[in-house]
Amino acid sequence: MSYTGTAFRHISPQYHPLSGAGARTQGGRWNPPQSFATLYLGAERETVIAEFGRIVERSGRAAEEFLPRRFYRYDIRLEELLDVRAPDHRERLGLSDEALSADDLRPCQAVGEAAHHVGREGVIAPSATGTGIVIAVFFDRLQGDSSVRDVDFELWQATPAF
């Protein structure tokens, strides 16, 4: 499927807004560690705030320890995403609903790795938080008419409500 619209992301001020290097090294839900650069975006502001809250809760640290953060807004145009939002799509891929929020990332990573292998530009899926949609963008698979552009950001110096 294609996707054109606005998306969001929070990152530490020391990182470039278009870097997927951290996910390439550490891995993420849709890419294994030591694999390919992936930019994780939320389709809605609320999704990114909920994802921030999930990171904080899972870390056992205070939210203030993650601040300041930059909350970026992006314009994106992607032509070839793997869409796993519908339960029947996930079923065909052998991906359970529980895998979308499980601590074991391997089932989702296997799907993401397969999507990357066949040339998809990323994965669009329900957020692990249960709030909204995430888009994992595989930069090395972007096609000619596709683009991801950071537009602006706001600085989080206080914890957003999640």
| Residue 160 domain flag | no
| Residue 91 domain flag | yes
Within its chain, how far is the Cα of 102 from the centroid?
A: 15
Average pLDDT for 86-100:
95
The 3-state DSSP class for residue 118 equals coil
> Is the Cβ–Cβ distance between 129 and 123 less than 8 Å?
no
| Whether residue 161 has pLDDT greater than 90 | no
Which DSSP category does 44 fall into?
S
| Residue 147 domain flag | yes
| Residue 99 domain flag | yes
| Residue 14 domain flag | yes
Q: Which percentage of the chain shows pLDDT scores above 70?
A: 100
| Residue 162 domain flag | no
Average pLDDT for 121-149:
97
Residue 16 belongs to a domain with what CATH number? 3.90.175
| Residue 10 domain flag | yes
| Residue 9 domain flag | yes
Tell me the residue range of the domain where 75 lies.
Answer: 3-155
User: Considering its fold, how many domains does the chain have in total?
Assistant: 1
| Whether residue 119 has pLDDT greater than 90 | yes
User: Alpha helix (H) ranges present in the chain?
Assistant: 21-26, 45-59, 87-93, 106-117
- pLDDT for the residue numbered 162: 74
